[in-house]
Structure formats: C-alpha cells, structure tokens
Amino acid sequence: MWVKRMPGWGGKEVVKDMKQGFDDVVARVQKCGRKTVAVSVAQDSAVLEAVKEAAARGIADAILVGDEAKIREIAASINMDLSGYEIIDEPDVIAASLKAVKLAHDGRADMYMKGLIDTKDFLKSVLDKEVGLRTGNPLSHVCVFEIPGIDRLLFLTDVAFMTYPTLEDKVNIIKNTIPVCNACGVDMPKVAPLAAVEVVNPKMPATVDAAELTKMCEEGQIPGCVIDGPLSLDLAIDAEAAKHKGATHRKIQGDADVLLFPDIHAGNLVYKAIVHMVKVKNGCILTGTKVPVILTSRSDTFETKVNSIALAAVVAEELKKG
C-alpha cells in the first residue's frame, strides 16, 4: 500500500491510500520472474522503445519477428542494443505475424504483441486455426487504469473489441476479466454492469442484462466475483454519491473494481475521456486467448505500452495456474 496526495475540492489536499497501482503490478512481475514477449512485425520505433524499457525494468525479454534490416536500423536510431535479443528475419508482414504467434502457441513466448501491422491482420494471426491462440472462448478487451482520486486499479471492459455484447457475451467478458483482476492482486473483484440508471427498466436492455448478471452470480453461475447491477457510473466509483443517493443497501457502494460497459460506444467514450482529460497510468490487453495479447494503439503513450507489457506478464503468470 502506498499513499497518494492529490488536490481535492476547494483546492484542499486529499490523501488517498492506494491499495493497488501499476508499481504493484511491476513488483508482481519481478516476483514471478521475467517473461518473454513475441513481437509481430517488430520494425516499429514506438514498440521497440517499449520493449527496450520493459527489458530494462526486468519485466520481459523479447523475440523480435520481422524485417531484420529495418529492426536493426530503428534500434540503432534509439540506441537499443540488440545483442541480447533473438531476431527472426521475415520481411513479409503476414508471414511474420504467423511466425510470431506460433512462438506463443508453442510456449516459447508468454505473450504476443502487435508491431507494425494492421489490426485486422494481427487479429487474423491470433485467431489462426493452426498456430493461433484460440481457446474456444470469445475474445474481449480489458483496460486497467490507475486514476488520481481512485484508491485502487479500475478494470474497464470492453472498450475496444466487442461491439454490442449479448448477455452471454457479457458473461464471457466477466470470466475473461476475473483472471486479470486476480493477477493484479484483486482476489474477489466487484463487477458493476453499468447503465444510465440503477433500477431495472424493461425498455432499457442494459438494465435487464445487468440484473440478470447479478442473479447469475448470486446463483453461482459466475464464480470468483461479486456482481451488482444495474449501477450508474457514480454509484460504481464514488462512495459519497452512493451514500447521498441512499444506495447503502447495494453490494457495491462506490468500490467497484470492474466497470462492465453495455456496448463499445459507452466503453470507448469513457476510455478516451479518461486518457485525454486526466493524467493517468493505464495498460490494455486482449483476453480470452491462450496467452495475453498486447494490442496497443499507435496513439497510446510510451508508458501505456510498457504498462501493457507488465500487465500481460502478470496475467501470463496467472493463466498458468488455471
């Protein structure tokens, strides 16, 4: 646990005890040992910068798959010593992605990372029937945030992959997210299926799904977590709001760990509002795969890419337990 100071209302300083932050995630990596990441089409300066930093912090080593000449040229420009890296030379983008994902499929790499390749082609390699990372479960995306004023990590899902999840999809999203929470030190995550209101309205499908998820959890169909929905965002993350609204009977009273969005529009808008308006730390991975998949955007910061590698590393360790 560490203490974080931040400006509060009226300029007063508020002291928050951080239960978990990204420093804790990195510390967990160092306890479980360095991992190996296979990088698909590695001739990308931003990705190589992140890989270089991840190695320097003791998070992960990397196997770089792609155009070796271009990889070496970029590495020289960022003062990256490649003597400790395995490089698999494959100039063809599609072939490189298949060679890289096969490393993870075969157990030579603990996680799989996107480089200079279109997302659709990268995902094709993830889903390849012969060398991909299919598990039979639907894939979903989770983004983990350390936000000023929130005393714990928040897990946002799905903000980038599933567009209009059905009730069944939402069950799978939750099941995909629980090991990510566990890997970060949250043993019994509180999941808030979000909606605009806190009561069930038959004309608002998101509230109906949220209530059904809550019931399924109570009946033991979704183990390993606590689900309470529907919940509005303020009740999910703000204990004072829950108190003022008289929600003291709820299982979640401003202390949600997982924010489950009703669709990609809600999730993506909240995600982008946070990253562009607040100074935060975050990392994102694709879940439901054999190993964690690091699918960062070119607009993501350097630190986000490094955090995503650290997040994938602890999740990789957690998946070995299952």
Quick check: is 102 in a domain? yes
pTM, whole model, 2 decimals? 0.92
Place of tokens 């999740």: 315
Measuring CA to CA, how many Å separate 147 from each of 7, 274, 312? 13, 9, 19
User: Which residue range is the domain that position 308 belongs to?
Assistant: 2-189+257-321
User: How many domains in the chain?
Assistant: 1
Give the CATH number of the domain where residue 262 resides. Answer: 3.40.718.10
As a whole number of angstroms, the distance between CA 165 and CA 170 comes to 6
pLDDT for the residue numbered 18: 57
Quick check: is 237 in a domain? no
Cβ(41)–Cβ(115) under 8 Å? yes
Quick check: is 167 in a domain? yes
Nearest to 284 by CA among 177, 195, 138: 177
pLDDT in tens, the chain (322 residues): 333 434 443 333 444 555 678 889 988 998 888 999 999 999 999 999 999 999 999 999 999 999 999 999 999 999 999 999 999 999 999 999 999 999 999 999 999 999 999 999 999 999 999 999 999 999 999 999 999 989 999 999 999 999 999 999 999 999 999 999 999 999 999 999 999 999 999 999 999 999 999 999 999 999 999 999 999 999 999 999 888 888 888 999 999 999 999 999 999 999 999 999 999 999 999 999 999 999 988 778 899 999 999 999 999 999 988 6
Quick check: is 277 in a domain? yes
Quick check: is 165 in a domain? yes
pLDDT for the residue numbered 13: 44
Quick check: is 220 in a domain? no
Nearest to 65 by CA among 6, 2, 134, 116: 116
Quick check: is 56 in a domain? yes
Quick check: is 133 in a domain? yes
Nearest to 282 by CA among 298, 301, 295, 264: 301
Torsion, Cα of 36, 282, 233, 260 (10° steps): -20
